[in-house]
Structure 1
Amino acid sequence: MRYPNESEKRGNDGEECIIRPQVKIVNCPIKTSLGVLGKKWTMLIIRDIGFLKIKRFNRILESIPGLTPRVLSMRLKELEREGIIKCREDRNDQVIVLWSLTEKGEDILPILLMLTAFGSKWYPEFVFEDKKPRRLDEVFSQPETRQRILEYNKRYRFNHNERNQQ
């Protein structure tokens, strides 16, 4: 898929394009993002580290049925290489490796919330015991969770000048 350029204001069926970038795009940002995030288990690993605050290898492995140690190790290395997670060693009597999200990784959490909202609305028969669709505020009704959702939403409202300075 590619985005239409300025001269291509209509799609193949003659309808006007609703979302058309105003800058030249070399590679589709969706395709580029999915190159990293679209690999099997990746989003669930990010979910566990970001939302569930599971920081240890074996706990992540236990929380995702079907995930193998080999694949988890590969995904963690890929995510670390991409700058999405970071590894910290805690040295007490033994070395304990702990994983956490970087700022880049934190920016993925609002995407996971939107996937949660989509699944809760359109696939309730698989998501909920009572099979009834729900809004995100019904799924997460705790005040601290609602506050966190608002914080995630603000992450994407960045100032253009601030972004260019990074």
Structure 2
Amino acid sequence: MKEEECKHLLESLKACPIDNTFKIIGKKFTVHILRNMTKLGQTRFNQFLDSVEGINPKTLSARLREMEKNGIIEKRIYAGTPVKIEYAITKKGLALNPVLESMAAFSMQYCSKDIFKDGKPRLLKEIYSKPSEAA
């Protein structure tokens, strides 16, 4: 990109796109909830509460509301006794999957000593492969 084109692009920005994305997913536990929805198929409040280490019910409620407000997830309420509430990831939320995968790939490659017991780097597909792909 030429310097003049770059200047024009920067002048057209209202905000930094990276900063804006961070405002949407950067709060504590948001990416953990997204990870659990996309990788583990979790949809229920108690599933998140049990699997996201260190989260409490008040914080989980706040994050789910924020994610819903931002259009990342949607809340589905099913009538019955008791009322059943599930959360579903939206198309907009699914579009964040490559971002999360890039974050994971970075850590697995460059911070492997911090995340793996043997300290050896791994590829994303080695960790998040589907059962049929692992064979």
Q: TM-score, normalised by structure 2?
A: 0.85
Give the structure 2 partner of residue 119 of structure 1: 107
Return the match for 1:136 from 121, 124, 127: 124
1:55-107 deviation digits (Å, cap 9, x = unpaired): 11011011011101101000100110111100111234321110110000000
**Which residue of 62, 77, 91 corresponds with 2:79?**
91
Pairs within 5 Å for 1:1-166: 6=4, 21=9, 24-142=12-130
Task: Report the 3-state secondary structure (helix = DSSP H, G, I; strand = E; otherwise coil) of the residue aligned with 2:4.
Answer: coil
Structure with more relative contact order (C-alpha pairs < 8 Å, separation 6 or more): 2
- Structure 2 CA distance for aligned equivalents of residues 133 and 21 of structure 1: 37
**How has the CA–CA distance of structure 1 residues 22 and 145 changed in structure 2, closer, same or farther, with 3 Å as cutoff?**
farther
Unaligned residue ranges in structure 1 (runs of 5+): 10-19, 147-166
Q: Once the two structures are superposed, what CA deviation does each residue of 1:127-156 show, in whole Å capped at 9, x if it has no partner?
A: 22221001223223436569xxxxxxxxxx
Which of these two proteins has the greater Rg computed from alpha carbons?
A: 1
Separation in 1 of the partners of 2:87 and 2:129?
Answer: 27
Give the TM-score, by structure 1 length: 0.70
> One-letter code of the match for 2:17?
P
Q: Distance in 2 between matches of 1:7 and 1:59?
A: 48
Counterpart residue type for residue 122 of structure 1: Y
In structure 2, relative to structure 1, the CA distance for the partners of 1:8 and 1:22 (3 Å cut) is closer
SS in 1 for 2:40: coil
Secondary structure of 2:122's partner? Answer: coil
Letter matched to residue 6 of structure 1: E
Note the residue ranges of structure 2 that are not aligned, 5 or more in a row.
none
Cα distance in 2, alignment partners of residues 145 and 83 from structure 1? 31
With over 3 angstroms needed to count, the CA separation of the structure-2 counterparts of 1:145 and 1:39, relative to structure 1, is farther
134-143 or 69-78, which deviates more: 134-143
Identity of aligned residues (%): 35
The alignment covers a number of residue pairs equal to 132
